[in-house]
Structures are given as C-alpha cells and as structure tokens.
Amino acid sequence: MRHTGSRIGAVSLRPMRPAKDFFAPLAVGAPAPLREIPARPSRAIHFFDPGNPKMAAKVPDMVGTVDVLLGNLEDAVKAENKEVSREGLVKIGQDVDFGPTQFWTRINSLDSPWVLDDLTTLVPAIGHKLDVIMVPKVQGAEDIHYVDRILAQLEAKAGLDRPILVHAILETARGVANIEEICGASPRMQGLSLGPADLAADRRMKTTRVGGGHPGYLVRQDPVDGDIEGPRTTYQQDLWHYTIARMVDACAMHGIYPYYGPFGDIADVVACEDQFRNAFLLGCVGAWSLHPKQIAIANKVFSPSVEDVRHARRVIAAMGDGTGAVMLDGKMEDDASVKQCKVMVALAEELAAIDPELKAQYDAISLED
C-alpha cells in the first residue's frame, strides 16, 4: 500500500516536512529561511492603493510616520485596475527609500487570475525591498505551501539575499478551523490578521460595520425580583473575541504575531480605539489602518503606557533574580508576573528605538514614588 499519510475518517493528517528539512530553502539558491521572526514594531499597517495617484504621491512623506506601509492589490481595487495598481506598486517600491518603515503588500487571493502575475512581477522587481507579503483568504497549510515554494523559486531567480516573509489573513471558517497548521506551515510565516469582513460573510455572521459588532449581540442582567418586564442593564458583547483569542494562541505557539484587521467606520475613532485596545490586551501587536487617523490610534494603543512601563520596571527591579514573590503596592508579584513585565519592557525598548517621542517619555520614567 502506498503511504499518503494517516487518515482518520475524512480528515487527512498530512505528513509534515521532516524537522531536518524544515529550514532548508525550497529552491536551489534561495535564501535560507529565518529561524526566528524578528519582533519589528508594526503597530499600524497602513493600507494604500498604489494605483491611486493621489495616495501613491503621499507614500514618500509617510515613511517614518508609520511602522508599516502596505500596498494593497486585493479587495477594494477594482478588477479593471489590478494591473495599474501592480505597476504603481512596482514604481513605488523602486523609487521610495523606506528607511525604518516596513514595506508590505497584500497580493490577490490564490483563487484569482491575478495572483500569479502579482508574484512573478513583484519579486524580481522589488523583492529586495518587500518585507512581508500578505496572503488573503488562506484556507489551510496547502495555501502557504504553494506561496512558499513559488517565493523560493522567484527569490533564487532574482538572487535575493533574504527571504520575504508571509502573513496570512484569517477570513474563512476553514482558515479558522486550520489556524494552527497555517501558522506552522512555513518558517516564512510572520503573522496573522483578522479579516472580519470576509470572515463574517463566510460564517453568516451579522455585523453592522467592518471590524465592529452588532448591538443585538448582548447579555442582559437577570430579572430583578423576578420581573422580566422591568428595567435591566444590557451589555453589547464583542463578536470577534473568540477569533482573536484563537489567533493569539496559535501565533504565540508558533513564535509569530497576531494583528487586529480593519475597522471600517473611520469616523468612529472611539470604537476603533476600543477594538484595537481589546486586541492589544489579548496579545495582538498591531492593527490595520485604512485612514491616517487610524495610524495615531494604533500607535497609541499598541504602545505600552508610561504607567505600564513604570510598573513593569518596578516589578523587575523588586524581583531581583526573577524568582520568589514580593509585595508591591499591596499586590503579590512572582515569577509569572515578572515575565509579563519583561514582555512589556522589551516592547517598550523596541518602540523607543524607532519612536523618539516615546523614547523621551520612557526615559523620563522615575521608579521612585
């Protein structure tokens, strides 16, 4: 009998690449995959349409004002403009010096007629500038394997000396069901973003705005004195909590990074900040920005506050070698809480290295009362 991997019912357990081959390049001459995904600040991933001359003209001035600039080729670009947008992206990639800002793109989906041309055009022309390729509508590990091999072939042909990383958008029910295998499918995997618009459509969810919720999704206080008609407080619940929490676990398990996706109601900066902050508190490192206003929101939310950094530094100082327990301001801190504090301080240091304003604020922190 031929071995095609074990099978349980209809579920096929695909054989993984053996450990010894996992970090081998997938094409002769392709750059070696990274062993660790660098924790580069990426609080806001700012989307622009490279085929829109007004937006394209603003890109050089945005360098240094946002952590990631992403040229979008997929949804929101009309079918008849796909080529113009791709050409615009090539021009921007060739002309702009991105300095400290990361340069990403979102290619068309793997079932579209445009994606192959996206990859075969972009990698030779601007592959040396592209940090990350975002792949939409990823359904399972097979989608990542497809992109992984093609990128290796194109990188080898173009003589690139570092691998382009891959970021998957989680926007189908099957993608969510396969989340762990997607994150672990390739050493190129840099992270995952929530794609709430497509995901809601795929799952038959009902939301009233992209990345937001629905006022009908709520919990209601129990009846007071058994009076079901009487006044009771209701609280709207977050429709995205489950998905974000799964993303955080899958990404942490694989050493890659989770991101909130878009928040479509640009004028509602308050709710946008709430959604982004919930994601930050659960473990996400950034979110998408669809308008320059949202860059400021993401930068604020995904940077630890001065008070949080001060607290973290105090705990680390009080904990000495990091073992045992101490009481600080009436609260118990121990080996586990000091680890949380170290994550916070490491993030603050990464951000201070690229953001002079934050550096000044963090440098001014005094540990004295």
Task: List residues near ligand GLV by CB under 6 A.
Answer: 75, 136, 169, 171, 195-198, 210, 261-262
Q: Which of 195, 196, 211, 264 binds Mg ion (CB under 5 A)?
A: 195
Q: Which of 148, 155, 198, 333 binds Mg ion (CB under 5 A)?
A: 198
Cβ proximity to ligand GLV, 136 vs 184, nearer residue: 136
DSSP secondary structure letters along 149-205: HHHHHHHHHHT-SSPPEEEEEE-SHHHHHTHHHHHTS-TTEEEEEE-HHHHHHHHT-
Binding partner at 261 among Mg ion, ligand GLV, none, C-beta below 5 to 8 Å by kind: ligand GLV
Binding partner at 262 among ligand GLV, Mg ion, none, C-beta below 5 to 8 Å by kind: ligand GLV
Binding partner at 318 among Mg ion, ligand GLV, none, C-beta below 5 to 8 Å by kind: none
- Using DSSP, state whether 219 is helix, strand or coil: strand
Q: What six digits make up the tokens of 331? A: 């609260």
What is the closest distance, in whole angstroms, from the C-beta atom of residue 263 to ligand GLV in the complex?
10
Cβ proximity to ligand GLV, 92 vs 138, nearer residue: 138
Q: In the range 157-176, which residues lie near Mg ion by CB under 5 A?
A: 171
Cβ proximity to ligand GLV, 33 vs 261, nearer residue: 261
What is the closest distance, in whole angstroms, from the C-beta atom of residue 346 to ligand GLV in the complex?
29
Helix axes 306-318, 335-354, angle to 10 degrees: 130
Binding partner at 196 among Mg ion, ligand GLV, none, C-beta below 5 to 8 Å by kind: ligand GLV
Cβ proximity to ligand GLV, 298 vs 345, nearer residue: 298
Q: How far apart (Å, rounded) are the C-alpha atoms in residues 257 and 192?
A: 6
Give the CA dihedral 289, 123, 128, 32, nearest 10 degrees.
110
Taking the CB of residue 12, how many other CB atoms lie within 10 A of it?
11
**Phi, psi (rounded to 5 degrees) for 330:** 80, 5
> 262, 280, 314, 312: which is closest to 41 by C-alpha?
280
Is there a contact between 190 and 167 (Cβ–Cβ < 8 Å)?
yes
Cβ proximity to Mg ion, 125 vs 169, nearer residue: 169
Residues that bind Mg ion (CB under 5 A): 171, 195, 198
